[in-house]
Structure 1
Amino acid sequence: MTVASNIKVTPLPPTDGRSFGAIVTGVDLNKLNDIEFQHLRAALYEYTVIVVKDQAACTPAAQYALTNRFDPASTSYGHGKTLDTKKSILHPDLKTIPHQPQVQVIGNGHLDSFEGLTDIKLKHPHHATFHATRIPAEEDEHFTRFYRWHIDAALYDLNPPRATTLMAVRVPEGRTQTLRYDDGTGDELTVPLGTTAFVSGYTMYDILSDDDKAFARTTKVEYAPHPYVWMSSARSRSTGLGLVSEGKELSLDQLPPVDESKIQVLPMVWKNPVTGRLALQVHPSAVRKLHLADGTVMDELREVRDIVYLLQRPGIAPELVYAHDWEEGDMVIFNNHGCLHSVVGAFKEDEVRVFRQCNLAASAAPLGA
């Protein structure tokens, strides 16, 4: 019996007839060997999101090593120096572990000390700080929204990371919330408190019409320079899927210096390097222009956003969302080139949640269709 034979991969029950997500048991990530890693990699590219159970002892060093194995030539944190820019919308949400700077700490509540950090206050992102509308404060305990659907990526200078690892160190127990789309459809979803929500980019592509598939395969997306600073004053749709067009984006002269060569123009559809499946992969909040097959560049922001929204919205329907019910010791690994994800939930101040996150800027751009 080989070591790898102890690994068990159990697909999650499909809600739409498609495989998305799997539970993995029988592996110690602190002692991961090459055969075991190949099983994890195969599972990741087949199921997109895998939950490796019982990893409470996994160290930040082991988490970085695991993440790096998906792309050994990658070294820098996926958002680069984005976190150093105080105007960035990401700045308040992430804290860097001093002895393993590629790993970030996220969560909610006060910690006296954690992994070399002292007297830190974590704040779980709340939709009221980012959405154009909000759930009334008196309903906040029981109702929530998707905060922001996104791909982990700087989207300026650095390539989008291939995989993200997310480790649950401390998870509040108990209640659920009702997640509302608040877009006039009546869509809603019961979710565990502080879930991370995932949707498959492959399913998002598969359910498009043939005409929309052809449009997506032949269109490229131009992202704003320094996008998380550019969007810092803008506000999101109630679904968390892209921004409302109110003219609140910062002008180029309000951004850090822009190097035109570092502006990213990426395919709208990305190819799975193992299975060949195609995923509709767009970070809807950072979109600035669309480059069409005939050479036309669409730069009217409202129109660009509306097109992307119409393509992506069917893919976040309640029945297509995997809302992970976190347990302490869960290490979730997700294929960042094949899914979108969102923070969810509204926490009370005394509800402490501690997670470690790692992703690394990829050594090459995503594969297009």
Structure 2
Amino acid sequence: MSAITVKPLSSSEGFNAKFGAVVTNADLENLSDADFDVIRDALFNNQVLVFKNQSHVSPKAQFELTRRFDPSGTSYGHGKTIDAKRSILHPDLKTIPHQPQVQVIGNGFVPEYEGLKDIQLRHPHHKTFHATSIAPEEDLDFTRFYRWHIDAALYGLAPPIVTTLLAVKVPGGRKQICRYDDGTGDELEVPLGTTAFVSGYEMFDALSPEDQEFARTSQAEYAPHPYIWMSGAKSRSTGLGLESEGKEIPLDQLPPIEEEKIQILPMCWRNPVNGKLALQVHPSAVRKLHLKDGSVIEDLTEVRNTVYRMQRPGIAPGNVYCHDWQEGDLVLFHNRGLIHSVVGAFAAEEVRLFRQCNIAASHLPEGPVEIAQAA
């Protein structure tokens, strides 16, 4: 078999990205240690890896590839979050019975797949989560970023290192215009149902020296049970964090809170291979900011405005990689080095079926030295 090759997306026909790579000649069902080392190095240097023509890859092999980045991790990255009826994640995920760490996501009715019967999948639509929405008559032509996020429970469980997505069935063809609707006029032509990625490293590098210092020395505190806490709130039109309207679920109305599970994480996470810093904040789940001098920003509006100001340049159209899904594409992405968003609005008859896997890590992300010393 030929050696694995790694080719930057920007130099591949049909791609326009400043990060990411296409990997060829990788046998994901029978991955040697040497081949995994090539893939691991490529991932941490490129953040997104695309493997074409992988329809044959089993849920077990997908899980094993995902777990190989952290062999001590075994449970689904959101843990029991999907069991909570009030969680905003609850309707969107189905679990494969014989490989429970792998989830099925998509849109439309699927009679049978991998032991699941008569499943109704729902592609998240921005009108269910945003404070404003695109007019219904424009819905098939225009769309928005649904929610920029990191795949992470952010309560109790450490954020997964990687996520894998496999396209099993993809509706064909049409494009949509993704609108930011924030007064800037920004918009982006996207493939139907794309997954959008932006690099946390580019986001950090674009900050002013003052903001880089702030990001290096500050920590983000996340809400307890964050996906229930945020369930009453609504998103900004860019999908980058929430509007501050006082609609969060009060803490005394959440499930019992275990203080030791509340996560206070660095705003910047260090790359394990090249040492670069990524600005990694889940903008919808953040509740407080802890500063270098020991003070804490607790005003939620100020917290969100600060994070938004720092992250918004990073999602400008020229910084977004929108993957044009084809059946058999397996995308492996560095969940600790970028944020991503679901995009798109499907017609009822457009059936889409994907497999997703991420695993709660065995350790928290490493931050800058300034944070480590402060702790």
TM-score of Structure 1 vs Structure 2, range by shorter chain: over 0.9
Give the structure 1 partner of residue 5 of structure 2.
8
Task: State the distance in 1 between where 2:269 and 2:19 align.
Answer: 17
Task: State the distance in 2 between where 1:198 and 1:19 align.
Answer: 11
Tell me how many residue pairs correspond in the alignment: 365
Q: Deviations over 1:287-315 (max 9, x none)?
A: 10000000001110001000000000000
Q: Is the 8 A contact 2:289 2:296 kept in 1?
A: yes
Task: State the distance in 1 between where 2:80 and 2:199 align.
Answer: 28
Give the structure 2 partner of residue 325 of structure 1.
324
DSSP 3-state at the match of 1:56: coil
1:275 matches 2:274:
yes
1:241 matches 2:217:
no
Give the structure 2 partner of residue 223 of structure 1.
222
Give the structure 1 partner of residue 105 of structure 2.
106
Deviation at 1:32, TM superposition (A): 1.3
Task: State the distance in 2 between where 1:286 and 1:231 align.
Answer: 7
Deviation at 1:12, TM superposition (A): 1.3
Over the residues paired in the alignment, what is the CA RMSD in angstroms? Answer: 1.2
Deviation at 1:36, TM superposition (A): 1.1
Give the structure 1 partner of residue 336 of structure 2.
337
DSSP 3-state at the match of 2:232: coil
Q: Deviations over 1:176-231 (max 9, x none)?
A: 00000000000000000000000000000000000000000000000000000000
Give the structure 2 partner of residue 184 of structure 1.
183
Give the structure 1 partner of residue 212 of structure 2.
213
Task: State the distance in 2 between where 1:331 and 1:211 align.
Answer: 39
Give the structure 2 partner of residue 287 of structure 1.
286
Q: Is the 8 A contact 1:146 1:239 kept in 2?
A: yes
DSSP 3-state at the match of 1:337: coil
Give the structure 2 partner of residue 61 of structure 1.
60
Deviation at 1:254, TM superposition (A): 1.0
Q: Is the 8 A contact 2:9 2:17 kept in 1?
A: no
TM-score normalised by the chain length of structure 2: 0.96
Question: Which amino acid in 2 is paired with 1:12?
Answer: L
Task: State the distance in 2 between where 1:232 and 1:206 align.
Answer: 32
Give the structure 2 partner of residue 300 of structure 1.
299
1:29 matches 2:32:
no
Give the structure 2 partner of residue 38 of structure 1.
37
Question: Which amino acid in 2 is paired with 1:279?
Answer: A
Q: Which runs of 4+ in 1 moved over 2 A?
A: none
TM-score normalised by the chain length of structure 1: 0.97
1:312 matches 2:288:
no
Deviation at 1:6, TM superposition (A): 2.3
DSSP 3-state at the match of 2:131: coil
Task: State the distance in 1 between where 2:162 and 2:213 align.
Answer: 27
Unmatched 5+ stretches in structure 1: none
Task: State the distance in 1 between where 2:170 and 2:35 align.
Answer: 27
Task: State the distance in 2 between where 1:324 and 1:23 align.
Answer: 12
DSSP 3-state at the match of 1:92: helix
Give the structure 2 partner of residue 232 of structure 1.
231
DSSP 3-state at the match of 1:13: helix
**In the superposition, relative to structure 1, how do residues 18 and 106 fare at CA in structure 2: closer, same or farther (>3 Å)?**
closer
Task: State the distance in 1 between where 2:338 and 2:308 align.
Answer: 16
Deviation at 1:19, TM superposition (A): 4.5
Task: State the distance in 1 between where 2:37 and 2:170 align.
Answer: 29
Q: Deviations over 1:54-102 (max 9, x none)?
A: 1110000000000000000111110000000010000000000000000
Q: Is the 8 A contact 1:204 1:315 kept in 2?
A: yes
Task: State the distance in 2 between where 1:46 and 1:197 align.
Answer: 18
Q: Is the 8 A contact 1:19 1:47 kept in 2?
A: no
